Amino acid sequence: MFTSIGIEKETACCFTGHRRLSKEEALGLRSLLRREIARLAIGKGVDHFLTGGALGFDTLAAQETLRAKEEFPWLRLTLVLPCRGQEARWPPRDRAVYQTLQRQADDVLFLADTYFEGCMHARNRFLVDHSAYCLCYLRDTARGGTAYTVRYARKRGAQAVNLFEPDWDAWGDWGP
């Protein structure tokens, strides 16, 4: 489908998580994301990170991937966006952050020109289908888009780590 950006599934990691995060959660997640991005890059050879561009966890993951590129310049960030204009109703500050991330990302993929029912699920499936690893922040495993995406990732054989309840041995004993 979108092979022109050269995603190698074996060395790719996607992110999925909740849109609403408290300031305390966001602060803690930044350091967890930095640690796990570095562990994947060093220990597993992951060089491509994919995020869906939503508010909350997706935005934090994109920002921390960009920060990690300062230390690991070979890393790539791809924004896989469900449709053009998903940010149209967001607050101005969030729209500005979203537009900045689009400019800084290595690749930006729009899966559709306009919103359609199911475009968010299509985006989530694309993320998983192109990744061997999945870093998530999942508080409620029973319902919602994040729960769906994590279940789908595990069904497809992706190694998933939930930063809500981090299991530091989930990737194996290999990193800092």
Q: In this predicted model, what pLDDT tens digit does every residue of 14-52 receive, in sequence order?
A: 999 999 998 998 898 999 999 999 999 999 999 999 999
CA distance 50 to 118: 19
Statement: residue 3 has pLDDT above 90: no
**pLDDT confidence tier of residue 170, bands split at 50, 70 and 90:** low
State what percent of residues in the chain have pLDDT above 90. Answer: 81
Taking the whole predicted model, whether its pTM rises above 0.85 is answered as: yes
CA distance 26 to 60: 7
In order of start, what are the domains of the chain with their CATH numbers?
A: 17-162 (3.40.50.450)
Please compute the mean of the pLDDT values over residues 74-84 and round it to a whole number: 97
Statement: residue 165 has pLDDT above 50: yes
Give the per-residue pLDDT at 142: 76
Q: E strands of 4-138, at which residues?
A: 12-17, 48-51, 76-81, 107-110, 133-137
Statement: residue 167 has pLDDT above 70: no
Give CA angle at 49 (43, 51), nearest 5°: 140
